[in-house]
Amino acid sequence: MIPDRLPAREALEQIARDLELSIPFSEQELAETAAVLASPGLSDPALADRTAAPFCTIDGPTSKDLDQALFIARRGDGYVVSYAIADAAHYVPPRSALFQGALARAASYYFPGFSLPMLPRDLSEGLISLNPEVVRRALVFDMVLDERGELVETKLERARIRSRAKLAFGDVQRFYDRPAESPFRGSELAESLELLREVGEKRIALATASDVVRYRRREVDVKVAGDSMGFVVLDAVRDRVELYNEQISILCNREAGRVLAEHPAPHLQPIYRVHPAPEAADVSGFFELAKATVAAHGLPEELAPRPGEPVATYLRRLPNDGPALRVGRAIERQALLINVRSAFATEPDKHYGVGAEVYARASSPMREIVGVFLHKELLEMLDGGRGSDSEVDLALRDKVVEAANLGRERQRRVNDLVNRLVLDRLFSVDLEAGSPPRRGTVMGITSSKVHVELDEPGLDVKVYLRDLGKARGGAWLAADERGTTLRVRDTGEIVCRLGDEVGLVLRGKDVAHDRWRLDLVT
């Protein structure tokens, strides 16, 4: 059966097979897993004992591979942020079958309702994972911040930790919003969680002052609807605590990149995450488009970009509600499109997205092969290079970079195919039931397509100009030079503008081109 006729879970598994993501664990990998489970190395005398500190993990409610745990304490007017990263490199050395298997998979891959782990679950959800109330190996970043949240110094240490609890974002947000009702009130975790809010707000303020762009993108959560053919798609609202957690992760990765880039040891072979800034011509073009869009909607001139204004500053001025909300969201989407994709690289360079001079993805060592390799390099930095082979590492690093970039592309492909599958199921039901048009916002207009973000579910849909023209009796449609307005060329009639609210009318399935034929109504 083809994927759109399979039960939802089976269709997702078919996507995984088609992308060749389901690589079984070899007998050697399973044997090595059994060996480290039998001898986990938790009594290693080289490990500092940090089990007295009340670390905890904060993740999504369904997360099982817990890479990071945190504990924050006051130091004078400032703070010490202790961020523990699971010690995957200890259990997955480069010459092991586990490492070679992880290199082939490159990453863990996430689907609605299940994941395909890079490492055996007994490791990624067991021995390596920073699960609650068990002792685990970790690499701890102790990051000292001043009263403004600015970094003062960082120290790294291999340690044993014992997380006190596996917390979900919603649990912590409820503690912030209604502390009297929270079980954390008065617990040993309470002060650290309160300080997370303080530090998080200060780090967000610093990022804002540095003109780091923070996009207000909608996120959706796709779930399989039981054993049925369909899916449940909900807007995933980010709690404020998720932003705090994100800031600590970014800080850790910035420091991982910095200490590796600055260390003089020749045996280190770091990998960096680089993200070039948008080209100046693209930024200029975006501002022209934004100005033209504001004018096309007859909106107040103060919503247009100002001369010399940074992109981040302009986006913060866009409306969050009211009649111009859709226009603001469409303009922000166009700002996102001028970004250059980030990538893993062997030479340090800036990461525009987080405003870092140098950045390294050290925070996900059980889910990304690059994280395992980076941890190995950080541990070699601490150990003075004992056991390292620079020539071997150099060749291996190139393979890791290639695999890591491929892994990111695979997950993007997974997301695209899952969203397409969800839309196929939704539109099939709509067409059969004769449902009314789904509403959405025009997010982009090109020479061949109109891009619409649905109001519900918040997924993107492509509407082809060829289909729109046919629905209008064969009219020739043309977008203006900046992509703000689509018109019927002969009459000048406006079909849609960037930021318009529109309805999507289903006209059927174009089987030959494997796409839906859609029309727009205002």
Instruction: Output the pLDDT for position 125.
Output: 97
Answer whether residue 388 shows pLDDT above 70. no
- CB distance 83 to 56 below 8 Å: no
Instruction: Output the pLDDT for position 217.
Output: 74
Answer whether residue 259 shows pLDDT above 60. yes
Whether 428 maps to a domain, the answer reads: no
Instruction: Output the pLDDT for position 228.
Output: 61
Tell me which of 88-102, 320-334, 382-396, 500-514 is least confident. 382-396
Mean pLDDT of all residues belonging to the chain:
93
Residues 104 and 231 in one domain: yes
Residues 88 and 154 in one domain: yes
Strand 501-510 versus strand 438-445 pairing type: antiparallel
d(CA 176, CA 274): 35
Instruction: Output the pLDDT for position 1.
Output: 40
Instruction: Output the pLDDT for position 385.
Output: 61
Whether 427 maps to a domain, the answer reads: no
Instruction: Output the pLDDT for position 226.
Output: 65
Other CB atoms within 10 Å distance of the CB of residue 236: 13
Whether 89 maps to a domain, the answer reads: yes
Instruction: Output the pLDDT for position 422.
Output: 92
Answer whether residue 481 shows pLDDT above 50. yes
Residue range 320-339: mean pLDDT, rounded: 95
CATH number, position 448: 2.40.50.140
Whether 431 maps to a domain, the answer reads: no
Model confidence pLDDT, tens digit, residues 266-289: 889 999 999 999 999 999 999 999
Answer whether residue 453 shows pLDDT above 80. yes
Residues 300 and 395 in one domain: no
Domain boundary among 337, 354, 369: 337
d(CA 129, CA 365): 10
d(CA 449, CA 466): 8
d(CA 332, CA 328): 6
Answer whether residue 522 shows pLDDT above 90. no
Whether 488 maps to a domain, the answer reads: yes
Q: In which domain, by residue range, is 297 found?
A: 280-337
Residues 247 and 193 in one domain: yes
Model confidence pLDDT, tens digit, residues 2-16: 455 688 889 999 999
Residues 383 and 452 in one domain: no
Percent of the chain residues topping a pLDDT of 90: 86
Instruction: Output the pLDDT for position 229.
Output: 58
The residue ranking higher by pLDDT, 443 or 394, is 443
Other CB atoms within 10 Å distance of the CB of residue 32: 22
Model confidence pLDDT, tens digit, residues 398-428: 999 999 999 999 999 999 999 999 999 999 9
Residue range 118-130: mean pLDDT, rounded: 98
- CB distance 118 to 107 below 8 Å: yes
Residues 217 and 233 in one domain: yes
Domain boundary among 288, 321, 337: 337
- DSSP letter string, 210-276: TT--------EEEEE-TTSS-EEEEE-PPPHHHHHHHHHHHHHHHHHHHHHHH---TT----EEEBP
Residues 267 and 144 in one domain: yes
Whether 71 maps to a domain, the answer reads: yes
- CB distance 124 to 33 below 8 Å: no
Whether 454 maps to a domain, the answer reads: yes
> What is the total count of domains within the chain?
3
Residues 47 and 139 in one domain: yes
Residue range 124-151: mean pLDDT, rounded: 98
Strand partners, 464: 449
Residues 242 and 299 in one domain: no
Tell me which of 162-176, 217-231, 247-261, 492-506 is least confident. 217-231
Instruction: Output the pLDDT for position 220.
Output: 80
Domain boundary among 421, 452, 470: 421
Which band of pLDDT confidence, cut at 50, 70 and 90, is reported for residue 346?
A: very high
* pTM of the predicted protein model: 0.92
Model confidence pLDDT, tens digit, residues 206-225: 999 998 888 877 778 888 87
Residues 348 and 392 in one domain: yes
What separation in angstroms does the CA of 327 have from each of 22, 89, 304, 481? 42, 47, 11, 18
Residue range 469-497: mean pLDDT, rounded: 93
Residues 320 and 193 in one domain: no
Residues 387 and 366 in one domain: yes
Checking 204-208 for CB contacts under 8 A at 24+ apart, the result is 204/243, 204/244, 204/247, 205/149, 206/148, 206/149, 206/150, 207/247, 207/354, 207/355, 208/312, 208/316
Model confidence pLDDT, tens digit, residues 501-519: 999 999 999 888 889 999 9
Tell me which of 99-103, 199-203, 379-383 is least confident. 379-383
Torsion of CA 111, 116, 118, 123, to 10 degrees: 110
Whether 430 maps to a domain, the answer reads: no
Spell out the residues 6+ positions from residue 499 whose beta carbon is closer than 8 angstroms to its own: 293, 297, 326, 327, 328, 329, 330, 331, 441, 442
- Pull the structure tokens for residue 46: 């080289």
Encode burial over 151-186: b for 16+ CB neighbours within 10 A, e otherwise: beebebebbbbbbbbbbbbebbbbbbeeeeebebee
Model confidence pLDDT, tens digit, residues 62-97: 899 999 999 999 999 999 999 999 999 999 999 999
